[in-house]
Structure 1
């Protein structure tokens, strides 16, 4: 259930948000949608893959966090204290960092013209809300807290990234840069995984683009994003190492019991 309401410093003057990461907060996921505006950070930590959107008319970029639906290999959750989980990466995708906040819209008149302007909404049914612990959203005198300023920046990145994604993928498709990718993953000799249904940017096709195509991509601001997607696949090896380490630690813990 969700209960989205417009955030304001009167009704939510004392609102505090639990900012950790745990299964309870939806952090244990194998994929996280990511947006072009954060590709430069994401590609340093995670493989970026593409998949068809729900309408099968375009693409959505996702960061691969694990090899199963509910496997986040970057999230360490102590069994005795799941609320004190640790995210083992320097960058966390915006969609998972935004907490209970999201972008909404309201009609605003400016110069006699009605405009839709983005505003921050909060899900009051989120498990991150409740109790005295957590980060304050507003300062005692009503101004935005540093935490809320950071959330506003995260939401802006999501909003701007969503706005350009369709155009970016259309241009990638026009230049035949997108190709299917099937990943055969060998965790151990007796454990092999196959990931299918994903796409990536073809590095060879990218390298063979002529000057006019490169200029169009660069002028649109999309050329760097294509390179980020292609380069990020190198992180698959690091993800495999995380999987192997998790298996090893689980076996060791089981043997000690």
Structure 2
């Protein structure tokens, strides 16, 4: 069971984190969340799809890693992660964004801070990368984690606005991925959405300008282009056959 605590350089001065990727660390998943702030990196490696959150009903972006819920085709138990970019939600490991009440300009403010899941299987005090330096400073590893969490946090802030813009222009459409590996192995992935390339191409005038100025036009094109990576999933699947 996860146990989240505020990270600090006194309580956690000897903390180490195993950074290799393995099913035993929970990396064998068929998809994971992604955010507009990393679309540029993600689309070079993986398909980006949209799904509706079961609780809120809101759209969210996901990276497709496999053809089954517990299958990560980019995960190799011997050689590690087989891609140049690892989605931020995976690479962050046991760290996450928490919020702490702080004072700003005389008023209350909830500021993002780094939290740690102390029950995560990567966390220990003897093996892996050090989180803090000998005298309490941040290690290069923790600096990297801070960058990842910042990328996630900023992505969370603009995700709803991006989907509102897409929905207002009726750009989101359902997509079913029908994949045949061989005569005995076929997959039909439903419940996913993408950007309608046809409707996007028809945008003009103020609608197109607003989408461009918001930065969401680029996100729309990146999501469409990323679907070409479905072929890479097929190749990885065939390589395991």
- Which residue of the partner structure matches residue 9 of structure 1? 9
Matched, 1:77 2:77: yes
- Which residue of the partner structure matches residue 48 of structure 2? 48
- Give the drift of 1:77: 1.6
Q: Residues 235-250 of structure 1 correspond to what in structure 2 (within 5 A)? A: 235-247=229-241
- Give the drift of 1:112: 1.2
- Give the drift of 1:131: 4.1
- Which residue of the partner structure matches residue 110 of structure 1? 104
- Which residue of the partner structure matches residue 86 of structure 1? 80
- Which residue of the partner structure matches residue 220 of structure 1? 214
Report if aligned partners of 2:7, 2:116 keep a CA contact under 8 Å in 1: yes
Secondary structure in structure 1 of the residue aligned to 2:124: coil
- Which residue of the partner structure matches residue 182 of structure 2? 188
Matched, 1:22 2:22: yes
Bigger CA drift: 184-193 or 37-46?
184-193
The 2-side partners of 1:176 and 1:88 are apart by 36
The 2-side partners of 1:57 and 1:173 are apart by 13
- Runs of 4+ aligned residues of structure 1 deviating over 4 Å after TM superposition are none
Q: Residues 116-195 of structure 1 correspond to what in structure 2 (within 5 A)? A: 116-195=110-189
- Give the drift of 1:222: 0.9
The 1-side partners of 2:52 and 2:157 are apart by 17
- Give the drift of 1:57: 2.7
Report if aligned partners of 2:14, 2:125 keep a CA contact under 8 Å in 1: no
The 1-side partners of 2:53 and 2:186 are apart by 27
The 2-side partners of 1:214 and 1:24 are apart by 46
The 2-side partners of 1:139 and 1:40 are apart by 32
Secondary structure in structure 2 of the residue aligned to 1:127: coil
Report Cα offsets for 1:78-128 as digits up to 9, x if no partner: 4xxxxxx51100001000000110111111112312111110000111111
The 1-side partners of 2:29 and 2:139 are apart by 29
Unaligned runs of 5+ in 2: none
- Give the drift of 1:56: 5.2
The 1-side partners of 2:104 and 2:190 are apart by 49
Secondary structure in structure 2 of the residue aligned to 1:188: coil
Larger Rg: 1
TM-score normalised by structure 1 residue count: 0.91
Matched, 1:230 2:224: yes
- Which residue of the partner structure matches residue 63 of structure 1? 63
